[in-house]
Amino acid sequence: MARAAAIWRRVAAIPGAAEPAGLLALPDEALRTAGLSRPKIAHARALAAAFAERRLEESTLALMDDEAAIAAIASVRGMGRWTAEIYLLFALARPDVFPAGDLVLASAAAELKRLADRPSPAALRALALEWQPWRSLAARLLWHHWRHLTGRPAMDDLPAA
């Protein structure tokens, strides 16, 4: 998480990188210098192109139900269900989204529920049903619990890169 936060800060510091057209205009080397790998550059460009070409629009995603928005985001090369669920949870502040493919959530749930093994995404998704309609809150609490257990800082507590 610390590495991802540091990379994001470096990318966000590049003029224009936070806007689709700006990111698409940047040379690959600028993004590599910020810490993005070749596949991540390709995925970032695919996402930027989807927004630039209006195949994805923030306002449209906000109006879609969760599954439709997840499908729309996941249709972009390099984006999957986890990425879409994270977007819905954080960017759109949806109350009942649970990214069951998240390894930290699985680890935290296993620790709290005293499970012998970390649950699979399907098992974690089934376990999370009991937290409806507030699964987004459950995810945040599980992330904070794992942070507490491991002593890792929150994203906003990380030093600037």
71-99 burial, b at 16+ Cβ within 10 Å, e below that, comes to ebbeebeebeebbbbbbbbeebebebbbb
Check whether residue 9 and residue 73 sit in a common domain: yes
CA angle 58, 70, 86 (to 5 degrees): 80
* Tens of pLDDT, residues 104-155: 999 999 999 999 999 999 999 999 999 999 999 999 999 999 999 988 776 5
pTM, rounded to two decimals: 0.87
Give the number of domains in the chain: 2
Range of the domain at 71: 2-91
**Amino acid letter at 99?**
P
The mean pLDDT of the chain is 93
The answer to whether position 96 is within a domain reads no
Check whether residue 87 and residue 117 sit in a common domain: no
Q: Which of 35, 60, 91 is the last residue of a domain?
A: 91
Check whether residue 50 and residue 107 sit in a common domain: no
> What residue has token string 């069951």?
100
* Tens of pLDDT, residues 114-123: 999 999 999 9
* Tens of pLDDT, residues 35-66: 999 999 999 999 999 999 999 999 999 999 99
